[in-house]
C-alpha cells in the first residue's frame, strides 16, 4: 500500500552560503538533517514520498525556501514542499508566486499557534494574526494560484480557521497536527471539538500527524485514538492525511513509530487507511 508522509522537515548545515537565521531545531539536535538523510530514512521505513515543510530555521526572507527547493530538485519523484514567507511583506504576492511557481511546491504554512515573527517559536494559543485585514492579498493570490494554506493552530484557534475557510472557499486549508492536542483538550469537548464545525467546510483537511509529541502513553498512542476517531467521523478519511513530523519527533519516537501506529488502530477500515496513507494527498494535489 502506497505511503506518503505529508509532514517532514529537512535542512542543511549552517554555512556562509546558506546561513541559519535562528537555530530552530528538534530537541537535542545541533546540526543538519539533509534531504539525503531523509531519503535514506524513507527507504528504510518504506515511505514512497514525503512533504518537506520548511522550518523557521531560515527565517521568512527570499531565501527561506531555498533548501526545500534544492531538496525537491534533487528528488523530484520522492519529495514535495511547503514554503514559508513573510505574509505581511509589501511584495507578498510576488513571494507567493515565487514559491508556488516551482514544481513540487504545494503551498505555504502559517504558524497560527505561534506569535508572528521571522523565526516563530513562542506559543500563543489565542493569537488572531491570521485574521489581520492586511493579509487580504495573501488570500486573493492563493486562490489565483490554486495553492494550499497549511495552518498550524491550537484548538482554541479552530474557530478562526473556520472564518477563513468560509471567507475563502477557493483556498484549500490543511490543519496541521490535529491542532496539536494537549493537556487542555479532550476529543469530545470544546475547544478541540470545534473541529466538528470546521468539517462543514469542504475546503478544509486535517493532518493526522505529530502524535508522539501529544501522547502521554507512547506508541501506538491509544490515548489519542479518540481524536482520530472523531476526525474520521466528522471529516471522513478522504479529508485526512498521515504525517510524521520527523525528525522533530526524534526525542519521542522512531520514524517508523510516527506512522505505523495506524496498523494497530483497528477502528480504521482498509479504506480509511488507504486515504490516510496516500489517497487524500494524491486526490487533493493531483499527485
The CATH code of the domain that includes 39 is 3.20.20.140
Provide the percentage of residues in the chain whose pLDDT is more than 90.
98
Q: Tell me what the mean pLDDT of segment 278-282 comes to.
A: 99
pLDDT at 219: 98
pLDDT at 251: 87
Answer whether residue 82 shows pLDDT above 90.
yes
The model's pTM: 0.97
pLDDT per residue over 217-245, tens digit each? 999 999 999 999 999 999 999 999 999 99
pLDDT at 13: 97
Q: Which domain holds residue 236?
A: 4-285
63-73 as b/e: b if 16+ CB within 10 A:
ebbebbbbbbe
pLDDT per residue over 4-19, tens digit each? 999 999 999 999 999 9
pLDDT at 255: 97
Would you say 165 and 142 are in contact if contact means Cβ atoms under 8 Å apart? no
- Residue 287: pLDDT band by 50, 70, 90 thresholds? confident
Q: Per the structure, how many domains does the chain have?
A: 1
Answer whether residue 142 shows pLDDT above 80.
yes
pLDDT at 53: 99
Average per-residue pLDDT in the chain?
Answer: 97
In angstroms, rounded to a whole number, what is the distance separating the alpha carbons of residues 277 and 260?
10
Answer whether residue 279 shows pLDDT above 90.
yes
pLDDT at 146: 95
Amino acid at each position: 500500500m502506497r505511503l506518503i508522509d505529508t509532514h517532514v522537515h529537512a535542512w542543511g548545515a549552517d554555512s556562509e552560503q546558506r546561513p541559519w537565521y535562528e537555530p530552530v531545531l528538534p530537541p537535542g539536535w545541533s546540526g543538519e538533517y539533509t534531504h539525503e538523510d531523509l531519503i535514506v530514512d524513507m527507504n528504510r521505513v518504506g515511505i514512497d514520498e514525503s512533504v518537506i515543510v520548511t522550518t523557521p530555521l531560515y527565517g521568512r526572507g527570499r531565501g527561506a525556501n531555498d533548501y526545500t527547493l534544492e531538496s525537491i530538485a534533487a528528488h523530484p519523484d520522492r519529495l514535495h514542499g511547503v514554503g514559508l514567507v513573510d505574509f505581511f511583506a509589501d511584495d507578498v504576492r510576488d513571494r507567493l508566486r515565487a514559491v508556488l511557481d516551482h514544481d513540487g511546491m504545494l503551498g505555504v504554512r502559517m504558524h497560527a499557534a505561534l506569535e508572528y515573527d521571522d523565526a516563530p517559536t513562542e506559543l500563543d494559543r489565542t493569537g488572531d494574526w491570521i485574521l489581520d485585514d492586511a493579509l487580504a492579498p495573501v488570500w486573493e493570490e492563493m486562490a489565483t494560484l490554486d495553492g494550499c494554506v497549511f495552518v498550524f493552530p491550537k484548538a482554541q484557534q479552530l474557530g478562526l480557521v473556520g472564518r477563513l475557510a468560509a471567507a475563502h472557499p477557493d483556498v484549500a486549508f490543511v490543519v496541521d497536527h490535529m491542532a496539536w492536542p494537549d493537556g487542555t483538550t479532550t476529543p469530545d469537548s470544546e475547544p478541540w471539538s470545534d473541529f466538528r464545525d470546521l468539517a462543514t467546510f469542504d475546503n478544509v483537511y486535517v493532518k493526522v500527524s505529530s502524535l508522539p509529541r501529544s501522547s502521554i502513553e507512547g506508541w501506538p498512542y491509544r490515548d489519542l485514538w479518540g481524536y482520530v476517531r472523531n476526525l474520521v467521523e466528522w471529516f471522513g478519511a478522504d479529508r485526512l492525511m498521515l504525517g510524521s513530523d520527523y525528525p522533530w519527533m526524534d526525542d519521542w519516537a522512531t520514524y517508523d513509530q510516527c506512522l505505523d501506529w495506524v496498523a494497530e488502530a483497528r477502528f480504521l477500515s482498509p479504506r480509511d487507511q488507504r486515504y490516510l496513507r496516500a489517497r487524500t494527498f494524491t486526490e487533493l494535489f493531483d499527485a
